Structure formats: C-alpha cells, structure tokens
C-alpha cells in the first residue's frame, strides 16, 4: 500500500506525517498539492491522509473552505469507491465539512486552544486503526486544537453507537471514559470516528506527534502499525484470491 498526504495552504502537520510514514514506518508516500484534480495511481488499498493545520486560516469555519479545494472531489470519489481516507485534526474537520463523516467539531468547551497529551481508548476494535489495540487500555497521544468538541444530533449519535463507528474516546490515564478525561467537551467523549463502511477515519489527536522514542512517546505509532497491518493483510488476501 502507499500513502498520499494532501497539502492545503495552511497545513502544518504535513511534514511530521510524511516523516513518520516514510522514515519511521518505511512506507511509500506521495505528497499531493491541493490544486491537483486527480489521485494518480492510487487504488483502494492505498490511503489518502488529510493532515492537521489551519487550512485557509480556519476562515469561516475550520475545514469549510478546504473542503472545496480541487483535490477534494477526487478524495470524495476515492472514499466512495472504498479507498482509505484518514483525517487528523484539521483533516477530521475537513472530512466532516465534506460530509464524508457525520457531525461537526465545535469550539472547545473552555474556549481555549488546548495543546497537551491526553488519553484515548479504543471504543471498538473492529476498525483498521484500532484492531490491534487493547480495549480498555489508555493510549497517550497529544491534541492541539481550538475546535475539537465533537457534536452531532441524538439520532446521529445513536447511529454511530449502533454501527460501532466510534473508534476512539477520550479517557483518563486508567482507560476510564469519564468527564475528567474529556479535554474539550466532546459528546460521548468522542475523539475519533469512522464512516459506516469503515474506510474513512477522522480523529482529533495527533498520532504522528507520538511515534518516536526521541519524542518520548510512541503510543501514536501503535495506531499506524494497526492500520498498516490491517490494510496489508487485506491486500494480500485480495491478491491471493486473484491468483487462485
């Protein structure tokens, strides 16, 4: 599989992401400028990543303008055809604005930009991002956002729960999902969700900032490892089927 990292004007976590994918995880990475209209040579075993940052200065609403960048039509098409799309922080906001994920990210309940390590726990281990994680364990990963309070109406929330689309919830350091562990007031402590078909993911925490020993935290790498092993195994299955 390979990764495509989209760079919008105002993206600022793109380099970190590319570094971790290439240098730490030894993955093939294609950097995609937002003006491009096509995703060259990507198939549904590949993953398009929307990095964190402040695309278009967060004008109007976070992600609202990036969602109309030329490349986004191709990203939506790619997602609808089953390709993996993973948005982190501003990338999550863009995916919600684009309608690829339900709900919205509102201003943090305390009105402040929060930049610190928090804990998340997998709410479900059926998703590619969490399948090799331990349910009930707390993973320490930093957040850095002012608009990260997940909001959706009650109907949408029940649907997310029923379909097990909530991937990560904020928790305390012991893995308990409670108010103490919720940094921004997100409904149901939601830190990350996926779409119904489990190929589009969005999360506010930054695993790419917690993937190297040198940075003192490698919990984020476990998410990438989980995803890559899931996607690689699926790809091998498909190739086996074709050869059979």
Contacting residues toward another protein, per CB under 8 A: 60-61, 64-65, 68, 96-97, 102-104, 106-111, 151-153, 185
- Cβ atoms 9, 34 nearer than 8 A: yes
Choice among 89, 96, 171, 194 that is catalytic: 89
Beta carbon of residue 21, minimum distance to another protein (angstroms, whole number): 31
Residue 38 beta carbon to another protein: minimum distance, rounded to whole angstroms? 23
Cβ proximity to another protein, 9 vs 185, nearer residue: 185
Please report the beta strands in 20-164, taking only residues with DSSP state E, as ranges in sequence order: 28-33, 47-50, 84-88, 104-107, 114-122, 139-145, 147-151
Q: Is 145 tagged catalytic?
A: no
Residues with Cβ < 8 Å from 77, sequence gap 6 or more?
none
Report d(CA 209, CA 216) in Å as an integer. Answer: 10
Q: Give the pairing type, strands 139-145 and 47-50.
A: unpaired
The reply to whether 235 belongs to the active site is: no
Q: Whose CA is closest to 50, among 78, 75, 26?
A: 75
Query: Measured from the CB of residue 102, what is the shortest distance to another protein in angstroms?
Result: 8
Catalytic residue among 34, 47, 97, 208: 208
Residue 208 annotated as catalytic:
yes
- Which residue numbers are catalytic? 89, 206, 208
């Amino acid at each position: 599989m390979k990764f495509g990292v989209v760079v919008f004007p105002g993206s600022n976590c793109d380099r970190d992401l590319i570094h971790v994918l290439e240098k730490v995880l030894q993955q093939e990475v294609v950097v995609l400028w937002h003006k491009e209209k096509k995703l060259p040579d990507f198939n549904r075993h590949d993953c398009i990543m929307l990095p964190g940052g402040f695309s278009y200065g967060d004008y109007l609403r976070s992600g609202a303008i990036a969602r109309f960048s030329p490349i986004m039509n191709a990203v939506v098409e790619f997602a609808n055809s089953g390709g993996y799309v993973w948005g982190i922080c501003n990338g999550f906001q863009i995916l919600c604005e684009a309608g690829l994920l339900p709900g919205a990210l509102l201003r943090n309940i305390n009105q402040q930009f929060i930049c610190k390590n928090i804990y998340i726990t997998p709410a479900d281990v059926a998703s590619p991002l969490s399948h090799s994680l331990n349910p009930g364990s707390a993973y320490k990963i930093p957040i850095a956002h002012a608009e990260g309070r997940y909001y959706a109406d009650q109907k949408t929330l029940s649907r997310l729960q029923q379909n097990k689309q909530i991937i990560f919830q904020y928790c305390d350091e012991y893995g308990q999902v409670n108010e103490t562990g919720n940094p921004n007031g997100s409904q149901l402590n939601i830190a990350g969700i996926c779409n119904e078909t489990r190929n589009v993911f969005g999360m506010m925490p930054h695993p790419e900032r917690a993937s190297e020993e040198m940075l003192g935290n490698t919990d984020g790498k476990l998410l990438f490892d989980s995803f890559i092993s899931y996607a690689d195994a699926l790809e091998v299955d498909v190739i086996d089927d074709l050869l059979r």
